[in-house]
Structure 1
């Protein structure tokens, strides 16, 4: 069965409540109305950052994987009237603004508000109450699903990438905040599908 449901090719409109960033420092999505996860290719990152801010109402066009509140979009109509379209890898990226991404080793404690899924509906981490997203390999996210459930208080270790719009922890290990027993979340097997 194909992961994209043809019946769920759709448009949606809502308010951007949180940006999502990949472990390379590119925006690759946002949360719409607090629940829908909207993903776009990282090549659209600079254009989205230039035309969309948290709290804006946007209209998106894309496809939704089966059984998740996720949409992989190919067009975003920003509140300022700009339409941002996926023109293929690297076509939307402003190479003059590329920068070296600073990765800071940290450990943090937070409460999961939303499990995160990738553009095809695969589990890939969680969003914490403070707005930081935890990203990990699909296999690790599947094996550690109980750590990624809403309301779970976790302690995570890894490398943090952040900007003024979003922050992401590339998780190396995670534990329930109460038990202190860290479980590795290796990057081996990470499925970095082109978005």
Structure 2
């Protein structure tokens, strides 16, 4: 009797093993014709998502050239230099006073700092000119804020002319232009990206906005730009939200 039970148990075990291997979807079973592979298992809740490829990292860089003009923000403060080879040297406004006292258009400068690949903007760390060296250092804690160049406040200004050069920020986004009369017109990057036809070298531009005229030049933040019919149209002040589908 026990021999019969042993043989029966052995046969049942072999049958179950065979069914597990041969049954569709069982471990090791070949996929049925036309079957689709299973999607990957969902990530557990709270698990970190795969990281995107790393963005290009800004690298140390240097430039030597002749100063064409100061680059000004709409307050009239110098926050950069335009060199004759097209390099745009950028620095914070609190450094602009020292640069303005040591440099003038036509001078040769040597600049060291960093820039992102393919971007014509060199973020200044040290600038040397006329036997002097200027280093970008943060203001001392508790220091009195520097007075702005436009002490009387911003004025409503208009500008028109041919675009001579596009201005970029550190990331390579267009955020302004230099007109043929050296007037600097600034735009928020998201608005500049929405005007590829108007903002290109050689195109004519007519704008209205708020800015300042100083001894170093004229700069304004555009609030309206002329369309193809020549009429000024207001610019949006912020990114346009997406409409619901």
Q: Cα deviations across residues 138-188 of structure 1 (Å, max 9, x unaligned)?
A: 100111132121110011010131211121111001125x52143433443
Change in 2 beyond 3 A, CA 1:181/1:4: farther
Q: Quick check: 14-23 or 141-150, which moved more?
A: 141-150
1:2 to 55, 71, 75: 55
CA drift of 1:104 comes to 1.7
Is the partner of 2:112 in helix, strand or coil?
strand
CA drift of 1:3 comes to 5.4
Structure 2: 5+ residue stretches without partners = 1-53, 240-245
Contact 2:76 2:211 in 1 (8 A): no
Counterpart Cα distance in 1 of 2:202 and 2:210: 23
**How do 1:1-150 residues align onto structure 2 when only pairs under 5 Å count?**
1-2=54-55, 4-6=57-59, 9-78=60-129, 80-89=130-139, 98=148, 100-150=151-201
Contact 2:206 2:225 in 1 (8 A): yes
Counterpart Cα distance in 1 of 2:144 and 2:96: 9
Whose strand fraction is larger, Structure 1's or Structure 2's?
Answer: 1
TM-score, scaled to structure 2: 0.68
CA drift of 1:131 comes to 0.4
Structure 1: 5+ residue stretches without partners = 190-195
Is the partner of 1:139 in helix, strand or coil?
helix
**How do 1:164-183 residues align onto structure 2 when only pairs under 5 Å count?**
164-176=215-227, 179-183=229-233
2:242 is aligned to none
Aligned-residue RMSD, C-alpha: 2.3
Is the partner of 1:145 in helix, strand or coil?
coil
Equivalent residue pairs, number: 184
1:185 is aligned to 235
Structure scoring higher RCO (CA < 8 A, sep ≥ 6) equals 1
TM-score, scaled to structure 1: 0.84
Counterpart Cα distance in 2 of 1:38 and 1:31: 6
Is the partner of 2:82 in helix, strand or coil?
strand
Contact 2:77 2:148 in 1 (8 A): no
